[in-house]
Structure 1
Amino acid sequence: MRWQVARGRRSTGAKIRQHRKRRKHEMGRDIPETHVGDKRIKKTRVRGGGFKFRVLSTDVVNLIGVGLVKVKGVLKNEANPHYVRRNIITKGAIIETEKGKAKVTSRPGQDGIVNAVPVED
């Protein structure tokens, strides 16, 4: 559980006095780090009664113009360099597929699927 509210201290180091309790709308969630592996999707209820489908792990990607192809691994990830060695897929990551390199265009933690476009070598 993450709280998306500024709390703690001022820039001077002074402690900020709490003037009210936390509100439910200030709640957040931990990020689902999508790994390369057997397909696992988690359904999460969100505010308003809707649902988000979070991809926890996947071994296939929807490559535009080709269809579903197997993922071999993550080659580059601008979000965090350590995500490459941990094989974590995020939007903008360059992944290795059976059909060559591809760039992820969807948000796996929000959309429930991994979409990608082919990238020239």
Structure 2
Amino acid sequence: MIWQGRSKRKYTGKLYRRFRKKRKYELGREYIETLIGERKIKKIRVRGGNYKIRLFRDQYANVYIPSQKKVVRAEIKTVVENKAHIHFARRNVITKGAVIETSLGKAIVTNRPGQEGIINAVLVEE
């Protein structure tokens, strides 16, 4: 269980004393690295009874073409660039803001696939 809260130490280096136990609503989850491959998803229940769809792998993206003003389902070939982490492009990890090579050309991912269960992108037209 990952818990996100205040720091364990004061600025002097002294440890804080725990004043209560960890709460369910403070729970964090492991980060999901979305890769290229045959579609694999997992539906998880989140706070308030809602659901998030974890996307582990997918080989297609919904690519918006600005000049034609339409959305086309395109196959993902590789990850060209990813500013979230220096090694994500090498490992083909898709996150928001990643530049992906599709069958239509280069596109930038505009959503968070690990939390939304789908890959949406906008075609980069030079």
TM-score per shorter chain, which class?
over 0.9
Question: Gaps (5+ residues) in structure 1?
Answer: none
Matches within 5 A, 1:54-73: 54-64=54-64, 65-73=70-78
Instruction: State the 1:120 CA deviation.
Output: 2.5
Question: Structure 1 segments of 4 or more deviating over 3 A?
Answer: none
Matches within 5 A, 1:1-121: 1-64=1-64, 65-121=70-126
> Structure 2 CA distance, aligned partners of 1:17 and 1:73?
48
> Structure 2 CA distance, aligned partners of 1:77 and 1:120?
18
Q: CA RMSD in A?
A: 1.1
* Secondary structure of 1:92 counterpart: coil
Taking structure 1 as the reference length, what is the TM-score of the superposition? 0.95
Give 1 or 2: higher helix fraction.
Answer: 1
> Structure 1 CA distance, aligned partners of 2:38 and 2:108?
20
* Secondary structure of 1:82 counterpart: coil
Q: How many residues align?
A: 121
Question: Gaps (5+ residues) in structure 2?
Answer: 65-69
> Structure 1 CA distance, aligned partners of 2:12 and 2:36?
44
Taking structure 2 as the reference length, what is the TM-score of the superposition? 0.91
> Structure 2 CA distance, aligned partners of 1:84 and 1:93?
8
